[in-house]
Amino acid sequence: GQNIDQPTEMTATEGAIVQINCTYQTSGFNGLFWYQQHAGEAPTFLSYNVLDGLEEKGRFSSFLSRSKGYSYLLLKELQMKDSASYLCAVMDSNYQLIWGAGTKLIIKP
Amino acid sequence: IAGITQAPTSQILAAGRRMTLRCTQDMRHNAMYWYRQDLGLGLRLIHYSNTAGTTGKGEVPDGYSVSRANTDDFPLTLASAVPSQTSVYFCASSDGGTGELFFGEGSRLTVL
């Protein structure tokens, strides 16, 4: 079966750095996405990786290793507004998105 | 209208009743999707449409139907609601490029 694993919850301190991991087992691979979802709101797109390596976008970076079935989202200089759930999703061989359950990130002052 | 609009935002429904969740987009995206989101689970695809006039079944289609008469609208119908359909429903669209999805604000449905 297809599976996306990510931690259920993480806690970090304002101003610090946090890394949210995602491992996947899917039927084929056509890219990995990270979305941010604030409580009670819709998910919004953060990043897309299809090739191995690091993609940097401001305070957020996303890394992919296809051979290991592994990705991480790195958030730097954490702000209180970064408190949200972070969803990992993989596009499979049928171009359908398989979603992880999300990681709830709690930022403490 | 800007982006994707869903209606209603929230609804309480008696079991056995029929309900249609509306979804309209103004981005002229070809692909549209309906997901449900339940606590502790990832987003699960109910139905999708790659282009106007076509629809397909997702991971959890039972008890739901959709139609795609035009590019902009993609309603989701529960023919006879059951309590297990209590969930938050998200409509989304994609331009088919990178696969990035644009989501509506969600419809919170409670079936009693």
How do residues A17-62 score in pLDDT, each as one tens digit? Answer: 999 999 999 989 999 999 999 999 999 999 999 999 999 999 999 9
- Per-residue pLDDT at B99 exceeds 90: no
Do A101 and B103 lie within an 8 Å CB cutoff?
A: no
Residue of B nearest to A8 (CA): B40
């899917």: which residue's tokens?
Answer: A26
Do B99 and A31 lie within an 8 Å CB cutoff?
A: yes
């592994």: which residue's tokens?
Answer: A70
Q: Which of the 8 DSSP states describes residue B83?
A: G
Task: Please report the pLDDT score of residue A106 as a whole number.
Answer: 98
Residue A48 to chain B, least CA–CA distance (Å): 8
- Per-residue pLDDT at B1 exceeds 90: no
Q: Where are the alpha helices (DSSP H) in B9-76?
A: none
Do A44 and B103 lie within an 8 Å CB cutoff?
A: yes
CA-nearest of B21, B10, B12 to B79 is B21
Residue B99 in contact with partner chain A when CB distance is under 8 A: yes
Lookup: tokens for B83 = 């309590």
- Per-residue pLDDT at A68 exceeds 60: yes
Residue B97 in contact with partner chain A when CB distance is under 8 A: no
For B99, other C-beta atoms within 10 Å of its C-beta total 19
Question: Do A35 and A20 contact (CB within 8 A), yes or no?
Answer: no
Work out the average pLDDT over B63-87: 97
Alpha-carbon dihedral sign for residues A9, A10, A11, A17? negative
Residues of B in contact with A43 (CB under 8 A): 43, 90, 101, 103
- Per-residue pLDDT at B96 exceeds 90: no
- Angstrom distance (rounded) from CA A67 to CA B2: 40
